[in-house]
Amino acid sequence: MRTHLLIIMAYEWRILKAGRLAQLSIIFLSVMIAVSLVTVFLMYSGQYEEVQKNRKTQKELYNELHIEISKAEQQYAENWQTGKMLRSGSLSPSALFDRSANFRATNPAEPLTMLNRGQLSWSPQTFAYKPIGSRFTPFYHTYDIKSIGSLFPERSTDNPLMMLLGQLDLAFITLNIVPLLLLALSFNFIAFERESGTLALLLTNPVSFKTIVIGKLAVRFFLFLSICALLPLMLMLLLTAWHNSGNITRGLFINAGIWILAVSIYIMFWLIVSLFINAFNRSSSFNALLSVIVWLGLVALIPAICNQAIKSITPGNLNYRFITIERKASLGINAHIDTLRTGLNNSFNSRYVRIRDDQASQERYDSAYFLQPYKLISDSELVDSFISFNPEWRDANTPNQLSRILTETRSFMIGERLKNILGDIEESKRRQRSLSFVLGFTSPTVLLKSIFDDVSGAGTTKTNDFLRQLDTYIRNREASFSKLTLDFRNLSSGDYGESKIFTYQKASMSLRIGNLVYWIGGIMIFTGMLFLWSLALFKRYRMVG
Amino acid sequence: MKKRKIKSGATLPIPVKAVWVIAQKEFRDSFRDKRLWWASSFLLVLLCASFIIGLNYSKARNKAREEAQVAQREQWINKSVTNSHIAAHTGITLFRPNSLLLAIDNGLDNYLGTSVFVEPHRRNLFQQAPVENVPALQQLGELTPAFALQIIVPLIIVLLCFSTFTAEREQGTLRIMLAHGVKPSDLALGKLIGSMIPLISVLMLVITAGTASMLINSSEEAGEFSLPRFSFMVFGYLAYYIIFIGISVAVSALSKTSQRSFLVLLGFWFFACLIVPRVIISIAQKTYPIPTAEQFIKELEQAETKVLPFMAQRAAIEKELMATYRVSKPTDLPVSTWGVTLFRREEESTRLYNQQFGNLFTQYEKQNSFYQFFSFLAPSISIQMYSMSLSGSDLNHFRHFAEVADNYRYEMVQQMNQIAIESKLYNASLSAPPDHPAFPKGEKEAYKKVKPFNYMMPSYSWALEKTMLSTIALLVWLAVSIFFLRRVLLKIKVL
């Protein structure tokens, strides 16, 4: 049987090589894949460099601050009484917070992103963090008022037409073009033999019909798997190794393996589709027509219908509602806090005057501002509300602490006012995710797309994970600054350093495994069911005539 | 011409009647062949469902937009700030309006921001594009009437027409028909009329129902419906279908077998509708690169450094004003130096920002022109750009809105700065912080003087003018396909 199979495969390969359609299809597919790899690799390199650059900038900023703090510490140790008094100027938590708060973090592109751009074309991947009130970017914030500052998503400046049409990446080719070419080369792989009378001739040999079918399909399987998965993935691994001085992580190998596995099952599915079509025992023309309909339905129509269904469950007014609520909250709270702050500053500045080059007046000012209790902001429901939620601020009473309370109250209370709408948005996104997870089971194309997005880190999962980590990092940083203020502490050089720079930690494989099993299993179920149906149809198949 | 009842199979020397006989026969055949009716019914359901979903979505969004714009106005008028410049800084969010035609073709709408925050000193990018709120599967496409009309209908045409001549040739009836004196053009026309009736019925039904529902739903709140734009859209799509019909029939006439005709036409459809657009836009992106978000910000920041620091500029302006008004003390000036400085800086920053944004839009336009140029290679590009333009969802309409919005921003900010100019409260000291009231009385009145934002979509002729290249390409394709079909039919081979 094995020898027969190999012979059938060898003959089938010879037939495919001789056919003009097969030649054209293979050349076309290879050229498309080569073009896509070159195009997307150039983009990937750009993004990779951007991540490195951002990290370098942040590193430089931190190093600069670290040196400055160390110098100042030394200077203060020599001249002033260290630790007894908090200083205004460059070492105060608020001054340094403002200086160090300007940073940008980019969601690092995965090497496999070059094969599947996914939503990276339109979804912001770089976020600039700014303390409130210092916005020097044309990117207005969206839903990110969770912390004291704001995260400004830097939206892609790509041509919207480009976003609409999409990239010509390997994922697009595998999802859309490969099935059509597979069907074009297989829609009559049995019908042709039957119509030309060679099937009967073949069956006169000591070879089973099953072996003939498997042999013919196996050639196509290995041919397509090599062109659209094995070769590009190997090339991508080589390029990554070249980019990273020979280092390839285990995670990348695993993801590349999952990609190849998923594509092989997908190719198998489409070959079974052609088997199913041939099992109807109809003419080649009928098979061709049915192939196009099946391809169109599974590749284009069902995903498009799913998308429309998912979109239609999203209330179209959430963005508008968010802006209205956010503006209302910001206008009201900002005006109130500004009034309180002006009152505090005016009152304090009129009592303690700093005279230039007069150290005594500076010390008096600092001592009063950082250490002496001051009259608390009176009759502010907002501040009272903030303190009731954050009791650690209850005993805070120096002007410096009061100023910090005002800053925190502003962001906290705006966040409180936005809680409901943010909840609605989150709920809507959650429903969308659940629905798209369920609707994925309507087409293997949707399932494979989900796998591609997951392994290449180009889907929502990684972006959400990145944002979660960034949010936690920002909250922790802000909390540490608040703690310094509460503890009457100044900054020390230990508060800065490379270890404090935000670095995205990739999600562990164990978190993704469930989804991957669901998606891969989905394609396998599709393939298995269709295979069983085809077998049932073949029981009534007329080999001759 | 004498009319008489025509029986199937009758030999008729009169061409017009031959066309009808063939059409009747074809219609009967197609009526018996349930596949065609299934395809037509499927198309009808697809178009209706996508149109209804699109219309409801568009209406809901427009309603929300209208409410949000009213709320913005209320917030603008009723805010309490003590200074005209701070008042300008509280800003207004402007929302991009949508025409009802977006229910047919939403073009780039998903990828364009829906709102922009207008404030002093800077022009912001648009935010909250609808695509940010959809799952990652968006890349697999969306079921819209435009998708059905631009991609699915041509495929149905290919499926209906690929065997127009090859089936007759394979059955040997082509030779008989031509021997009876039936002209190939009459044969083609008759077959087309007969087989296209279900498709034409579906399209006519959808066009009529679509026009009626959009006329009923058209309102300021739900979005406006432009009949001329819609009519031109219909003509464009009809031309697009005639192109596909012409090419399909011509290929069928040239092919020896139905299988070959089918594969050639399927290949053409596949290249024209799916491959060429993606390849061309990728080349355009490489040919006319767009600055990344980071580069764009850097360019803006560099541009800002060209403006003098505020205090230095204010000191110079104060000197200049004192000389102009011939006063010896700044407090004697009849205008506020702070206000004049803000006014002039706004002029300067607006010029710089417009230049940067202009450069960005120019790059987009270069890419789009390059893409449009390839309409001559694929008719799908021409209909896509043409339809998008008429539905108001292309980049030209977006740029038009963005510029109107920025003009509004400039007017609003300068109106607030004018109040500051007329206030002399800040002339006492160069270093005085601008936290004194600049609205001595009737704050609300000053805010109200800023007119509400009102945007009028440009006319259909503007839209047509902007998409001239695609329109010409569509017409060229139409002419070439008809000419090609005519040539092929004149030289048709029986075997």
Residue pLDDT, tens place only, A442-454: 899 999 999 998 8
Is A283 part of the contact surface with chain B (CB cutoff 8 Å)? no
Rg (CA), chain A: 32
Q: Give the DSSP letter string of B97-156.
A: ---GGGGT--TTGGGS-SEEEEBTTBPPPPB--GGGGS-GGGGG----HHHIIIIIHHHH
What per-residue confidence (pLDDT) applies to B387?
Answer: 95
> Tell me, what amino acid is at A155?
R
Q: Contact at 8 Å (CB) between A94 and A403?
A: yes
In degrees and rounded to multiples of 5, residue A167 shows phi and psi of -85, 150
Secondary structure, 3-state, A18-87: HCHHHHHHHHHHHHHHHHHHHHHHHHHHHHHHHHHHHHHHHHHHHHHHHHHHHHHHHHHHHHCCCCCCCC
Beta bridge partners of B223: B219
Residue with tokens 């800084």: B89
User: How many Å apart are CA B294 and CA A441, to the nearest integer?
Assistant: 39
Residue with tokens 């900002």: A334
| pLDDT tens-place values along chain B, 495 residues long | 444 444 544 444 545 577 788 888 777 777 776 667 777 788 888 888 888 888 888 888 888 888 889 998 988 888 776 678 878 888 889 999 888 888 889 889 888 888 898 988 888 888 888 887 766 666 677 888 899 899 988 988 888 888 878 877 777 777 787 777 777 778 777 877 777 777 788 788 888 887 887 777 777 666 677 889 999 999 999 999 999 988 998 898 888 888 788 888 988 998 899 889 988 988 898 889 888 877 888 888 787 787 788 888 888 898 998 999 888 887 888 888 888 999 999 999 899 999 999 999 999 999 999 999 999 999 999 999 999 999 999 999 999 999 999 999 999 999 988 888 887 666 654 444 445 555 655 667 888 888 999 888 899 999 999 999 999 999 999 999 989 888 888 777 765
From B192, B267, B251, B265, select the one nearest B492 (Cα to Cα).
Answer: B251
DSSP state of A130: E
Residue of chain B minimizing CA distance to A461: B136
CB contact under 8 A, B281 and A324: no
CB contact under 8 A, B297 and A39: no
Six-digit token pair at B479? 């002419």
- In the three-class reduction of DSSP (H, G, I as helix; E, B as strand; rest coil), residue A127 is classed as strand
Is A339 part of the contact surface with chain B (CB cutoff 8 Å)? no
User: How many Å apart are CA B156 and CA B163, to the nearest integer?
Assistant: 13
Q: Contact at 8 Å (CB) between A335 and B443?
A: no
Six-digit token pair at A159? 């041509």
Residue with tokens 């417009």: B354
CB contact under 8 A, A324 and B135: no
Other CB atoms within a 10 A radius of the CB of residue A198 amount to 11
CB proximity list for A482: less than 8 A, separation 6 or greater? A404, A408
How far from A285 is each of A195, A212, A325, B38, B267, CA to CA, in Å?
11, 22, 60, 18, 15
Q: Which of residues 89-108 of B touch A (CB under 8 A)?
A: 90, 93, 95, 107-108
In degrees and rounded to multiples of 5, residue A107 shows phi and psi of -65, 115
Compute the count of residue pairs across chains A and B with CB atoms less than 8 Å apart.
244
CB contact under 8 A, B67 and A320: yes
Six-digit token pair at B56? 């409801």
Alpha-carbon distance A304 to nearest alpha carbon in chain B (angstroms) = 4
Q: What is the pLDDT of residues A280-338, one digit of tens each?
A: 878 777 888 888 889 988 998 888 888 888 877 766 677 788 888 888 888 888 778 87
CB contact under 8 A, A307 and B134: yes
CA atoms within 13 A on the CB side of A318: 25
CB contact under 8 A, A39 and B282: yes
User: How many Å apart are CA B463 and CA B328, to the nearest integer?
Assistant: 57
From B436, B487, B79, select the one nearest B254 (Cα to Cα).
Answer: B487
* Strand ranges of the sheet holding A126-130, from the earlier edge strand across to the other edge: A103-106, A126-130, A150-154
How far from A253 is each of A226, A241, A242, A359, CA to CA, in Å?
17, 12, 15, 63
Is B305 part of the contact surface with chain A (CB cutoff 8 Å)? no
Q: Contact at 8 Å (CB) between B261 and B252?
A: yes
Q: Contact at 8 Å (CB) between A29 and A177?
A: yes
Provide the H-helix boundaries in B274-336: 276-287, 293-304, 310-325
CB proximity list for B141: less than 8 A, separation 6 or greater? A300, A303, A304, A307, B147
What per-residue confidence (pLDDT) applies to B63?
Answer: 85
E strand intervals along B18-114: 92-95
- In the three-class reduction of DSSP (H, G, I as helix; E, B as strand; rest coil), residue A151 is classed as strand
Q: Contact at 8 Å (CB) between A417 and A329?
A: yes
Six-digit token pair at A361? 């007046």
DSSP state of A507: P
User: How many Å apart are CA B126 and CA B116, to the nearest integer?
Assistant: 5
Q: Contact at 8 Å (CB) between B494 and B178?
A: yes
Tell which of B73, B139, B147, B160 to mutate to test the A interface (max A CBs under 10 Å): B139
From B390, B444, B416, B367, select the one nearest B226 (Cα to Cα).
Answer: B390
CB contact under 8 A, B56 and A303: no
Partners of B147 on chain A (C-beta within 8 Å) are 304
How far from B406 is each of A96, A266, B185, CA to CA, in Å?
36, 50, 57
In degrees and rounded to multiples of 5, residue A152 shows phi and psi of -105, 110
CB contact under 8 A, A331 and B65: no
Of the candidates B81, B133, B395, the beta carbon closest to that of A161 is on B395
Q: Contact at 8 Å (CB) between A287 and A257?
A: no
Is A23 part of the contact surface with chain B (CB cutoff 8 Å)? no
Buried (b) or exposed (e) across B86-124, using 16+ Cβ within 10 A? bbbebbbbbbbbbbbbbbbbbbbbbbbbbbbbbbbbbbb
CB contact under 8 A, B137 and A123: no
Is B220 part of the contact surface with chain A (CB cutoff 8 Å)? no
> Tell me, what amino acid is at B241?
Y
Partners of B148 on chain A (C-beta within 8 Å) are none
What per-residue confidence (pLDDT) applies to B430?
Answer: 45
Residue of chain B minimizing CA distance to A135: B122
Partners of B107 on chain A (C-beta within 8 Å) are 164
Beta bridge partners of B116: B94
From A170, A160, A318, select the one nearest B134 (Cα to Cα).
Answer: A318
Residue of chain B minimizing CA distance to A192: B259
User: How many Å apart are CA B495 and CA B453, to the nearest integer?
Assistant: 69
| Terminal CA-CA length for chain A | 26
Buried (b) or exposed (e) across B407-432, using 16+ Cβ within 10 A? ebbbebbbbbbbbbbebbbbbeeeee
CB contact under 8 A, A310 and B134: yes
From A449, A500, A530, A495, select the one nearest A271 (Cα to Cα).
Answer: A530
Other CB atoms within a 10 A radius of the CB of residue B293 amount to 24
Residue with tokens 């040239």: B254
User: How many Å apart are CA A377 and CA A398, to the nearest integer?
Assistant: 11
What per-residue confidence (pLDDT) applies to B400?
Answer: 95
| Spans of chain A below 50 pLDDT | 82-85, 133-148
CB contact under 8 A, A288 and B95: no
What dihedral angle (degrees, nearest 10) is formed by the CA atoms of A196, A198, A200, A201?
A: 150
CB contact under 8 A, B133 and A314: yes
Residues making up chain A, counted from first to last: 545
Is B361 part of the contact surface with chain A (CB cutoff 8 Å)? no
Is A38 part of the contact surface with chain B (CB cutoff 8 Å)? no
Residue of chain B minimizing CA distance to A119: B136
> Tell me, what amino acid is at B89?
H
**pTM for this model (two decimals):** 0.86
CB contact under 8 A, A157 and B292: yes
Q: Contact at 8 Å (CB) between B112 and A319?
A: no
Partners of B294 on chain A (C-beta within 8 Å) are 50, 104, 126, 154
User: How many Å apart are CA B481 and CA A218, to the nearest integer?
Assistant: 42
Is B127 part of the contact surface with chain A (CB cutoff 8 Å)? yes
Residue of chain A minimizing CA distance to B61: A316
Tell which of A140, A180, A447 to mutate to test the B interface (max B CBs under 10 Å): A140
Alpha-carbon distance A181 to nearest alpha carbon in chain B (angstroms) = 10
β-pairing, B115-118 vs A103-106, is: unpaired
User: How many Å apart are CA B126 and CA B279, to the nearest integer?
Assistant: 28
Q: Give the DSSP letter string of A457-480.
A: T-SHHHHHHHHHHHHHHHHHHHHH
Burial of B8 by CB count in 10 Å (0-12 exposed, 13-18 middle, 19+ buried)?
exposed
Beta bridge partners of B87: none
Residue of chain A minimizing CA distance to B124: A138
Beta bridge partners of B127: B115
Percentages helix, strand, coil for chain B (3-state, rounded to 5) are: 70, 5, 25
Q: Which of residues 430-489 of B touch A (CB under 8 A)?
A: 435
CB proximity list for B4: less than 8 A, separation 6 or greater? none
CB proximity list for A428: less than 8 A, separation 6 or greater? A313, A314, A315, A318, B133
- ipTM comes to 0.86
Of the candidates B110, B136, B293, the beta carbon closest to that of A118 is on B136
